[in-house]
């Protein structure tokens, strides 16, 4: 259904905006920059797993 696709698109957009804002705030903190760069993949895996569970929970 188009409405469900739009809702999903909006949720992804909101999640992406929130993620980019959080990343920007952390990168602005010089003391955290190396930590972020070294653990970027791990952070992304956690974020994607949580987001995937949230999205699949909506449609189950």
Looking from the CA of 56 toward its CB, the CA atoms found within 13 Å total 6
The domains of the chain are located at 30-60
What tens digit of pLDDT does each residue of 10-40 get? Answer: 788 888 888 888 877 777 766 666 666 667 7
pLDDT of residue 23: 79
pLDDT of residue 55: 65
- Cβ–Cβ under 8 Å, residues 55 and 11: yes
State yes or no: pLDDT of 54 exceeds 80: no
């Amino acid at each position: 259904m188009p409405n469900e696709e739009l809702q999903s698109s909006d949720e992804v957009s909101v999640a992406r905006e929130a993620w980019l804002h959080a990343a920007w705030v952390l990168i602005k903190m010089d003391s955290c920059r190396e930590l972020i760069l070294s653990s970027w993949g791990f952070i992304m895996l956690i974020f994607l797993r949580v987001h995937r569970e949230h999205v699949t929970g909506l449609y189950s």
